[in-house]
Structure 1
Amino acid sequence: MKNLRMLWSFLFLIAAGTAQAATPSYDSYGSWLIACDNVLTCEAKGFVQDNDDVTSDSAPVNGAVDLRFIRAAGPGGLIQARLTAGFPFGLTDLRVDGRPLLLDRSAWTLTTQDGISTLSTKRPEVVAAFVAQLRDGTTLQVGDGSVPLNGLSAALLHMDDRQGRVGGVTALIRTGLKSASAVPPAPLPPSAPPAHRSSVLSGRERDRLMAWTVKAQAQFIKKQACDRLDKETDSLLETGVYGLDKNNAVVLLGCSMAAYQGTSLVFVVPRTGNGQPEPASLPSPVLIKGDTGDEGSMVTSPDFDVATGTLADFYKGIGLAYCGGSHEWRWDGHRFVLTGMTFQLGCGGSMSGDWPVLYRSKAQLRDQKKE
């Protein structure tokens, strides 16, 4: 009986330490967004949002400043507070509703590079004290720039809730007596195909696969309202054929062009044997209400990296990319697998293309370690 109890305890510990991947989420509270990825690393980000004209190429207003809190899941999940501005600033430039912000200089790091200044700390007790000074305020002033604080507490409470910290000593908003050990373990990132070099195709094979795809999928292409037959427009779109493995290739077919980005259709085409060119299924998490979550075959500004075999897209909500999203997929021999994703709905912040992570995988983490 004792051995049986030990066995069950051992299996429970294994299960507790290998939590399954979580469902990514993206929510907004006032001027703050809160994004939690599939391993429950969460990012709360506040900034002046400039969504009145999403086609504008103008930079975000009010000094291009953002403040974010990034925290990993689990009892000992690392936490960081980071204030970023597109201009130099010092600690004496920081005020909450006109009152000087009280910060311990020795607990913070302030750097400036390429005109971008960043103030950051990774000490949990310092982050908690910082939040305490902000949570009842209206505006964090950074020189001539600012970060609205409406929605901060709600966003951080959402982070605490998703990571299982509410009512515990590690919570940022609704603290309590529960110990850090009561916080659930961080989910493990899902497996995904490792990076691999794309198969090299001859010019003749590329031409054959492209012509075959256009002919076999003519009706599908027509239904997508593609204007790729306009030669002037087609020359601006991403079109190409790349080897996935010895049996399959991927065809990117330029579809339509907007003001500053184009769309392409993605097809998987057999290089040998039976089968027909088929629209690719490119999975993506459902983040916004009303989104169907369909695994579509149309992507924006796609790129295929032949060195790693990675298909990526990059959608800009405005011309300077202060909002938008990106994906990365890899072929596993049968289908494309999502390996990475970023997303930001509200337009603004200090840097273009600097969007919260919504999905990560073991393959992506391996590649980051190699860099």
Structure 2
Amino acid sequence: MPYWMKLPFASLLLFAASLHAEPLQKVFSDWQITCNNINSCVVRNFPGDNGLVMTFSRSAGSNDRPLLRIDYGNRYTGELQGAPLKDNLLLDGQRLKPDLKHWDVQPHHLATAHAISIDEFLAQVMDADNIQLLYRPNATISLHGLKAALLLMDDIQGRVNGMSAWVKRGNRAAMDVPPEPAIPEVEPPLRAPTPLTRDETTGLIDFGTWRVNTDECSLDPQRREVSVAPLSDDKALLLVSCEMGAYNVIDLAFEVSRSEPYVAKGLTLTLPFVPPDRGDKQLELINAEYDANSGELLTFSKGRGLGDCGTATRWQYNGRQFVLAEYAQESTCDAWHGSDDWPTLWTSKTEPVAPTGTVEMTP
């Protein structure tokens, strides 16, 4: 019988609660760890703007799909010049020569999903101070915080004192770990809504521009934008730009009847968890985009104009409300990766919808 099934009753209750894992993003010295709602975790060093980053990722359960990669250069820097990584890495000033038999070796990218190769590499570097690029001394990976981050990953995935642990290894069988939590399923509407007619669009935009309650908006009415799109055959989504910063626009959202007399109800986005560095589950609609064909609502909050940090979310309309489908966050602004590569704190399984519908916009 697996170890995790032999736990006392109180522990089993805690394990049952973990079937919907609490996401986290945390920093240990020079390393950041992010784990999502199915206990899939990613750990990387920072800052990445020196061009050199090492990343570990691993899923929960026995089918853990581990991955270790070292990258020199990214989408912001482009391909950097210099000799191949495999011959030019230093570990505390001495040549680092990992066994690359089971690695994908490219000039500026090294990666392996081979469990034994990852274990061997960690044995080499875990207690060292840094990894440095020989021909570019400021391209350095600090190893301070790596062990603490990986230990937390082991703990979250139930690997501590087991053979599959990366840090605190024991004699428990590698397969003897809690299963991966169930991934939530998000159901879209049975079909896409009927597109708005020209008259419906004109009437709703007029309503959103002049009559919907936007008393709390700081943005001058002359600068506000109103967009409308079908939610269902009898309801529409109305977005009104409310506040504007250097690179973020905050919208108010309303569910409005598609025909007169218009009845508007304010919409709020409620997360199923409290994000790091936040005190509640309410999410503002920032840089919102809605696709009526799929019923998906996207938000994208930039931490700065470069777009290398912030929060990106995807919500699915299910015919009654918007349900969170995906939440990604990068708290470290270090020009390493864009929103399409940010670590996820929430993921789900979503079925597609047949594409129909339109969106109209006016200033």
Q: TM-score when scaled to structure 2?
A: 0.81
Is the Cα contact below 8 Å between 2:231 and 2:292 reproduced in 1? no
Q: 1:129 to 1:274 in 2, by over 3 A?
A: farther
Please give the secondary structure, in 1, of the residue aligned with 2:175: helix
Please give the secondary structure, in 1, of the residue aligned with 2:32: strand
The answer to whether 1:136 aligns with 2:130 is no
Please give the secondary structure, in 2, of the residue aligned with 1:210: helix
- Tell me by how many angstroms 1:76 deviates: 2.4
Deviations 1:167-189 (A, max 9, x none): 00000011101112320000111
Unaligned runs of 5+ in 2: 1-14, 74-79, 354-363
Find the aligned partners of 1:247 and 1:340 in 2 and give their Cα distance: 27
1:44-193 matches, within 5 Å, as: 44-48=43-47, 61-62=49-50, 64-86=51-73, 87=80, 89-111=84-106, 117-142=108-133, 143-144=135-136, 145-193=139-187
Matched residue, 1:361: 348
Find the aligned partners of 1:230 and 1:85 in 2 and give their Cα distance: 47
Q: 1:18 to 1:246 in 2, by over 3 A?
A: farther
Please give the secondary structure, in 2, of the residue aligned with 1:325: strand
Find the aligned partners of 1:174 and 1:203 in 2 and give their Cα distance: 64
For this pair of structures, how many residues does the alignment match? 325
- 1:162 is matched by which residue type in structure 2? I
Matched residue, 2:36: 37
The answer to whether 1:258 aligns with 2:245 is yes
The answer to whether 1:270 aligns with 2:269 is no
Please give the secondary structure, in 2, of the residue aligned with 1:313: strand
Matched residue, 1:350: 336
Q: 1:326 to 1:109 in 2, by over 3 A?
A: same
Find the aligned partners of 2:46 and 2:22 in 1 and give their Cα distance: 25
Deviations 1:318-340 (A, max 9, x none): 21122111000011111100001
Matched residue, 1:227: 219
Q: 1:286 to 1:19 in 2, by over 3 A?
A: closer
Find the aligned partners of 1:270 and 1:85 in 2 and give their Cα distance: 53
Find the aligned partners of 1:149 and 1:216 in 2 and give their Cα distance: 58
1:333-348 matches, within 5 Å, as: 333-348=319-334
Is the Cα contact below 8 Å between 1:19 and 1:188 reproduced in 2? no
Please give the secondary structure, in 1, of the residue aligned with 2:270: coil
Within the candidate set 264, 286, 294, 2:274 is matched to 286
- 1:177 is matched by which residue type in structure 2? N
Q: 1:275 to 1:96 in 2, by over 3 A?
A: farther
- Tell me by how many angstroms 1:203 deviates: 2.7
| RMSD between superposed Cα atoms in Å | 2.6
Identity between Structure 1 and Structure 2 (%): 28
Greater helix share, structure number: 1
Is the Cα contact below 8 Å between 1:281 and 1:335 reproduced in 2? no
- 2:165 is matched by which residue type in structure 1? A
The answer to whether 1:301 aligns with 2:295 is no
Matched residue, 2:8: none
Find the aligned partners of 2:69 and 2:181 in 1 and give their Cα distance: 24
